[in-house]
Amino acid sequence: MVTKTPPMTVPVYSTEQGRLCPGCGQPVASCACKANLAVVQGDGIVRVGRATKGRKGSGVTVVTGLALNPEQLQALASRLKKQCGAGGGVKEGSIEIQGEHRDLLVTTLQQMGYTVKRAGG
C-alpha cells in the first residue's frame, strides 16, 4: 500500500516581510533563487504600441507579450534597438525603444516568427 504525502505549501506573503518568493521563501527583494523572475505568459500575441505617459511627452515604442526569460528579453531588446538605431531598455517584462518605430518593429518581429499586432492608434 502506497500512501501519498500531502503537497508542501509555501507561503507567498508575510505581514512582516511582504511578498515572498515561492521558490525559497525569502522576501522577493532578497531572493537568492531567482524563481520570482517568472516568464510572462500571455495569449501568444506580441503587441507593439506607443506610450508617452510619464515621459514628459516623449514617445517610446513598447513591445509586450513576449514569453521570454529576462536574459532572452535583454538580448532581443539589444537586437531591436540596433535595428531601429535608437536607445531603450527592458522594463517590467516589456521592451521600450525610444521614438516611433512601430512599423519597423512589427515587420522585424514577424520575420522572426512572432505573431504580432499593432496596439493603439
How many beta carbons lie within 10 A of that of residue 97, not counting itself? 24
pLDDT of residue 41: 54
What distance in Å separates the CA atoms of residue 87 and residue 78, rounded to the nearest whole number? 9
pLDDT of residue 12: 66
What are the mean pLDDT values of the chain's consecutive 10-residue runs (121 residues total)?
58 72 72 55 80 80 86 91 92 89 92 87 63
pLDDT of residue 72: 87
- Angstrom CA distances, 119 to 51, 65, 116, stand at 10, 11, 9
pLDDT of residue 120: 78
pLDDT of residue 7: 54
